[in-house]
Structure 1
């Protein structure tokens, strides 16, 4: 049996669901690979590049900033599963002007996406909002701060079902990031310097993940049951609503991506980072 380290670099179903399904359904075993799942959330790029990585946003930024020649071999979704959640009284992204917004650092994938979307809304992320910078996590501290009034809004990930949270607490869901900016966000990436993309272990992981993507669409009841393990604070109905609105419509069935849209995303991210876009989507995302 082949063996490989696979690191996740964020938390929540967008990062972990496909891997979880592949493991629970024995797709890895069927494909003849033993996967050691590693928590790479705090790892630097040099450590990450020694194995396979789930986070495509982080590897894209790493290739732009550091020149590490990552290639993505599978794409789960091109719609980043993050949301702008706000206290009552704010109704749109434009209403964030002058408000206190909890965000991830500007050099992280979600941080870059936030800045791009704020600019689309006509806001300067450095001048028009008061950024409260914190590292990604389970975002529960953001909920506490929204409750006690120390922040006005937060960009949160899918360690919760944001629509259900907003309905429960009387808050506003200002925007779904995936509606405003599309970029391949999670999948499987490797650095060919250390890991051959054609390595049997890598290809076995890709096959297992594509089977998991099919399962997400073909077996919603099982997928919702697995989602419940990530979204334990929510009812079964809330989890199913989250699946139907944000998982089923946006996760691929085959691990492929739209290269034209990805080219636009790379150019936009590079401009936000202030670096040249030295590669094309076809050079970063494998489509076979």
Structure 2
């Protein structure tokens, strides 16, 4: 049996659900690979590059900033699963002008995407919004601060079901990032300097993940049962509604990439970072089906 280190670099179902299903349904074992799942959320790029990584947004930024030749081997979704929640009285992203907003650091995937979404609404993220930078987590502190009124809005990820939380507190869901910005994201990436894309362990992981993607699309009951592991504060109906709105409709089944979407995303991220786009979508997203992967 092959072995591999697989690190996730963010929390929540968008990062972890495919991996979790592949593990719980024994797809890794079926494909002949033992996966050591590692928490790489706080690892630097040099440590991450020695194994396979879940999470393509961060590797796009890392290739642009650090020059590490990451390549993506499958793609789970084009729509980043982040939202802006706001207190009553704020009805659009443009209404955040002069307001207090918690955001992720600008050199992270969600932080960069937030800045792109704010600019699309005509806001300068450095001057028009009063931002507080915080690292991604379970967003419990963001919800507390929203409830007490010390902030007006918060960027949150899918460790919560945002629409259910908004309904509970009488807040607004100002934006779903996937409606404003598309980037092929969340999948398996490797640095060929250390781990070949055609390494048998890597290909076994990708095959297992493609099987998990088909479970997400074709088996709602199994997917919702696993999704509840991540969304423990929510009822089964709330979890199912979140699945139907943001996972069943957003995730791919074949792991492949639309090169035009990839090219636009790389251009947009490079522009936001203020660096040249030094690679093409075809060089980064290598998601054609190789021998041994299911069609």
What TM-score bracket applies, with the shorter chain setting the length? over 0.9
1:95 deviates by 0.6
Q: Paired residue for 1:45?
A: 45
**Structure 2: tracts of 5 or more residues without a match:** 289-295
Q: Paired residue for 1:14?
A: 14
Give, in whole Å, the separation in 1 of the partners of 2:138 and 2:257.
28
Q: Paired residue for 1:142?
A: 142
Give, in whole Å, the separation in 2 of the partners of 1:134 and 1:4.
31
1:78 deviates by 1.1
1:272 deviates by 0.4
Q: Paired residue for 1:103?
A: 103
Specify the SS of the correspondent of 2:76: strand
Specify the SS of the correspondent of 1:74: coil
Q: Paired residue for 1:59?
A: 59
Give, in whole Å, the separation in 1 of the partners of 2:215 and 2:240.
15
Specify the SS of the correspondent of 1:243: helix
Q: Paired residue for 2:244?
A: 244
Specify the SS of the correspondent of 1:76: coil
Report the number of matched residues.
288
**Structure 1: tracts of 5 or more residues without a match:** none
Q: Paired residue for 2:218?
A: 218
Give, in whole Å, the separation in 2 of the partners of 1:138 and 1:183.
23
Give, in whole Å, the separation in 2 of the partners of 1:185 and 1:150.
32
> Is the Cα contact below 8 Å between 2:184 and 2:261 reproduced in 1?
no
Specify the SS of the correspondent of 2:62: helix
Give, in whole Å, the separation in 1 of the partners of 2:281 and 2:29.
31
- Partner deviation per Cα, 1:127-153 (whole Å, 9 max, x = no partner): 100011000111111000001111100
Q: Paired residue for 1:86?
A: 86
Specify the SS of the correspondent of 1:137: coil
Give, in whole Å, the separation in 2 of the partners of 1:217 and 1:272.
33
> Is the Cα contact below 8 Å between 2:55 and 2:188 reproduced in 1?
yes
What is the TM-score when the length of structure 2 is the normalising length? 0.97
> Is the Cα contact below 8 Å between 2:75 and 2:287 reproduced in 1?
no
1:270 is the counterpart of 2:266: no
1:273 deviates by 0.3
Give, in whole Å, the separation in 1 of the partners of 2:188 and 2:254.
13
**Which portions of structure 1, spanning 4 or more consecutive aligned residues, are displaced by more than 4 angstroms?**
none
Give, in whole Å, the separation in 2 of the partners of 1:152 and 1:204.
45
1:55 deviates by 1.0
1:146-185 alignment to 2 at 5 Å? 146-185=146-185
Q: Paired residue for 2:293?
A: none
1:287 deviates by 2.4
1:201 is the counterpart of 2:180: no
1:169 deviates by 0.5
What is the TM-score when the length of structure 1 is the normalising length? 0.99
Q: Paired residue for 1:76?
A: 76
Give, in whole Å, the separation in 1 of the partners of 2:133 and 2:278.
29
